[in-house]
Chains A and B, each alone.
Chain A
Amino acid sequence: MAKEAQKLRKERKKARLELSNGIVLEGFLIGADVSTSGEMVFNTGMLGYSEAMTDPSYLGQILTFSFCLIGNYGVPAYKDGDFFMSLGHESSSIKTQGIIVSDIFDGFYHHNSTISLEDWMKSQNVPGIAGIDTRFLVQTIRENGGLFGKIVPQGAKSPRIDRFDFLKNFSNAQYADPSKYNLMPSVSIKEVKHFGKAGKAVAVIDCGVKWNIIRMLLQKGCRVELLPWDSDFSKVQCDGWLISNGPGDPANTGGLVERIKKGVLPQNKPILGICLGHQLLALASGSATKRLNHGHRSHNQPVYSLPQKSAYMTSQNHRYAVDKNSIAKGWRLWFVNANDDSVEGLIHKSKPFMSVQFHPEASSGPNDTGWIMDNFISLL
């Protein structure tokens, strides 16, 4: 099932990672033999590569795993349409443009895996590079703020641009910045979907929702109505709202902020915003967002809850954040980041509105803030 690590290195085709700051790194091609481009990001989580790669928030990005050994346990079993059978998958396909790793394991021995990471990438036409000094690359990304890159296999074929809508913008671009485009059409469902039969109804605005959000709502006894990003929210009947995570710049979401402001807020029903959903809710309520240097992408972001006076380990994946100096009237700080003091959550002083920058649904990462979902559901 596994090729010898050293053979891997011997038989590999070479590939280059070309960065927008002029640095070129050479390594071995893994996954599909296609070229690609995207925004360079890194994640310092040590496990959960399949969750990360299928997380729609990574759309348009080339993901660098800082951890040195990726692929060890293969890719968890996937069953189309079955969230619970597909633990380890956060959407139906790989969303990253490509991945950069130090070392990849091309095999799988884990009881819950059915395919190796490489074969999975090949099957979905996603390329990557192994044999890169990922520590150096992480430092480069960290020091450069916005950095873009291209994966160029030896004798490269032209990039495939049919995987997602927004990629048509990438076809001629040297180094494309995905956050310049509205990414919602590429990640959101096209038609309303219903999950679960009984319980309180939660309307989930799909901005690229992670399946674990839906899993948790169902597990906790709710019904879910999953809405396309461009639905008319004012007509939706529900007990509460969840604005999901997703990729890109919250300000560049094609009128979504306005529709939340006009369609969701006036209903005065409980609202929970997660990640991008938190930023969208903040914008809709009159706060502002800003772009961080390189954002937070890891499983070990410490956040501190001001009302609870306690701290939690969280999973995060974002570059934009709510500006601390812009918090709208009626809202107060809920969570702050214990490392850099950035805004990690807001809560309305009188209405049942709340939002968090991190992922209470985890997957991958720590489950410490799952209680936020409970709190939200208790308000329905």
Chain B
Amino acid sequence: MTPTLQQTEPTSSRDDRKAVVTLDSIVKEFGDVTAVDGVSIEVRDGEFFSIVGPSGCGKTTTLRMIAGFERPTRGRIHLEDEDVSQVPAYERDIGMVFQGYALFPHKTVGENVAFGLKMQGVPEEEREKRVADILSLVNLPGTEDRNPTELSGGQQQRVALARALVVEPSVLLLDEPLSNLDRKLREEMRFELKRIQNELGITTIYVTHDQEEAMSMSDRILVLNKGEMEQIGEPYEIYHGPSNQFVADFIGDINALPGTIVSKTDSQYTVELEDTGDEIDLPRSVAGRELQVDARVNVNVRPADSQLDTKLEEGISLQGTIEAINFLGKSANILIDVNGREFLVQANGRTAGGRYQPGDSVTVNWKTEASILLQES
């Protein structure tokens, strides 16, 4: 037991579940390029764990190392209690859904799904039953004799999922499984994936560049950038308490106002904003970690946490001019010029939508505690 280590982990009821996949300081180098640099994670039993980051951040390489298609240059990978770092892919108890589905074009849907069972030597009769069961689970009952090429993208996706799940692996890996689907189908499949994952209670590691997708489905999220871990935590934590400017920018929209810390007390920081010269006081709780006087910082605020012309008891106000209004129905995105810096406010569509015109002078407000104070990266 190392109590100090435990304190750094987010407190959550899930913590007592056993780790199914453990990565220990994984490094992967391709020649001179370090694709993954020191990634350590513990994915717990039944957890839906996402790895997000921009393209080239090492998320797919990480997943491929877990699957066994790449060997880590350094570090260990454990599957339950077994060190699988050097175990070939076909001996790992892991199911995977590929970005392009990778359905065997020369086999029927039934043969595709039965493939893993055949490799395990499951007798044909049982194979047929299990294939039929899993195809009903993914809402494609009776499609055994179809050719995968006859199916739509969404259906192929379900077949790929069924093929990975039918062998009852201890972990399911999903590599950008929704990226080839159109928007509407993508949203449907999010619910579908989550339903199936819940129903089976299977430990799932999900790789995506779409942070919204990750947030809507995951128990926890790892944000990767240039092969390094930026933050690991629950969606709420990562969205509202990003640990650095990269995470703040990558996860959701954010307004970042640069400034300098001019003084600090035991309870608050005073920041002078670069654009307006305003000095604002922020409680220490909005900063992720201790900041020094003269440090270059960003005062961040989410567009959805910002308002226009509102009287707030504990708030921050800035003067600006409306540049553009993008009315979306339930909300309106209003772009405001605050002394040369663009500031986005996501206002309520009903109250703000018809009230403003471009060129209007407005006050931008947000609650002090909605600020996120981060060191400039």
Q: Do the two chains belong together in a single complex?
A: no
